[in-house]
């Protein structure tokens, strides 16, 4: 159910991105981009799709990353649900991130000034990590890898992805410091610090 919602939301973002340019002033959407945001402008539509598909993917990643912390802090029906569907949330992230990859690829291919640089290698690594986590998010992979190696793979992978989004959102603040990305950076810091504190607390209780 959670995975299907990620597909539905990803298509909703796609449709919304296609409709929005005709109704919103171009300067308000992309002041730093040299594209005309009109209903018949593929680059403008793709810019919106790229941005908002990234936001959706981050939401799924954040929920998957924070599920155990939230459940450890506030035990409730909602947090139990997050723990129960954590794997589905991760697959939802992979799906939304896949849509983002399509949007980003199409957008960059429409830019005349586009050139390959180190940022593409970093982005490619992030997608490779996403793929590795997605294809091993099943019981068969747990049995094949062993629970300890499987947990190491997924804990390392999700931390890499959180760092990936932290760097991406932080980089945008140099040109657009007052965007929602500033809030995302703060949320990532809080989520990571809270998780580390929870892990230290759990370890301390286990060794007492």
Question: Is residue 103 a contact partner of residue 16, using CB atoms and an 8 Å limit?
Answer: no
Query: How confident is the prediction for the chain on average, in pLDDT?
Result: 86
Backbone angles phi, psi at 179, to 5 degrees: -95, 175
- Does residue 23 have a pLDDT over 70? no
Q: How far apart are CA 173 and CA 167, in angstroms?
A: 10
* CA 145 – CA 123 distance, rounded (Å): 26
- The answer to whether residue 156 scores a pLDDT higher than 80 is yes
Q: For residue 142, is pLDDT > 70? A: yes
Q: What is the DSSP string of 34-101?
A: -S--STT-HHHHHHHHHHHHHHHHHHHHHHHHHHHHHHHHS-SHHHHHHHHTHHHHHHHHHHHHHHHH
> 3-class SS at 33?
coil
Least confident of 11-15, 106-110, 194-198: 106-110
Indicate the pLDDT class of residue 24, thresholds 50, 70 and 90: low
Domains in the chain: boundaries: 2-207
Q: How confident is the model at residue 29 (pLDDT cuts 50, 70, 90)?
A: very low
d(CA 22, CA 36) in angstroms, rounded, equals 11
**Predicted structure pTM score:** 0.87
């Amino acid at each position: 159910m959670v995975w299907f919602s990620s597909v539905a939301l990803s298509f909703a973002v796609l449709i919304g991105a296609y409709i929005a340019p005709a109704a919103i002033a171009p300067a308000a959407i992309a002041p730093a981009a040299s594209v005309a945001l009109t209903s018949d402008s593929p680059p403008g539509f793709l810019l919106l799709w790229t941005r908002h598909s990234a936001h959706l993917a981050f939401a799924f990643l954040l929920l998957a990353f924070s599920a155990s912390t939230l459940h450890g802090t506030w035990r409730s029906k909602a947090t139990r649900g997050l723990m129960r569907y954590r794997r589905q949330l991760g697959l939802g992230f992979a799906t939304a991130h896949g849509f983002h990859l399509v949007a980003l690829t199409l957008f960059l291919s429409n830019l005349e000034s586009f050139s390959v640089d180190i940022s593409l290698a970093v982005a490619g690594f992030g997608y490779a990590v996403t793929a590795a986590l997605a294809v091993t998010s099943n019981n068969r992979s747990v049995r094949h890898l062993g629970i300890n190696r499987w947990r190491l793979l997924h804990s390392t992978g999700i931390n890499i992805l959180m760092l990936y989004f932290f760097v991406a959102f932080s980089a945008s603040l140099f040109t657009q410091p007052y965007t929602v990305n500033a809030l995302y950076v703060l949320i990532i810091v809080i989520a990571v610090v809270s998780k580390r504190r929870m892990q230290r607390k759990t370890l301390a209780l286990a060794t007492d």
